[in-house]
Amino acid sequence: IRSAMLEQLSEDYIRTARASGLPGWYIVLCYALPNALIPSITVLGLALGDLLYGAVLTETVFAWPGMGAWVVTSIQALDFPAVMGFAVVVSFA
């Protein structure tokens, strides 16, 4: 996050915001931070998808009830709406 923040603080639009007289805290919170968090949010989203896949694998191997066992049962029963619902949940997670 630090390197992304330093990169954003050296951009032209930050220099323009400083020249217009905006306070430093406002520039950091409203301009630089949202753009600096984009790579971190992307990595966290991918890690959460891996976590859900790990739950599917663990619940299937150890026969624990849960969302993973539910989706495996849905796949075996060809319950397409349930599988699509799981895909939507995983894609938004």
pLDDT digits (tens, 9 = 90+) for 39-92: 999 888 888 777 777 777 888 788 778 888 888 889 899 999 998 988 888 777
Query: Same domain for 14 and 30?
Result: yes
pTM here? 0.57
pLDDT at 49: 74
Task: Give mean pLDDT, residues 4-16.
Answer: 93
Query: Same domain for 54 and 28?
Result: no
Could you tell me how many residues make up the chain?
93
Query: Same domain for 54 and 73?
Result: yes
Q: Which domain holds residue 80?
A: 43-92
pLDDT at 93: 62
Q: Provide the number of structural domains found in the chain.
A: 2
> Which of 59, 23, 45, 57 lies closest to 90, judged by CA?
45
21 SS3 class: coil
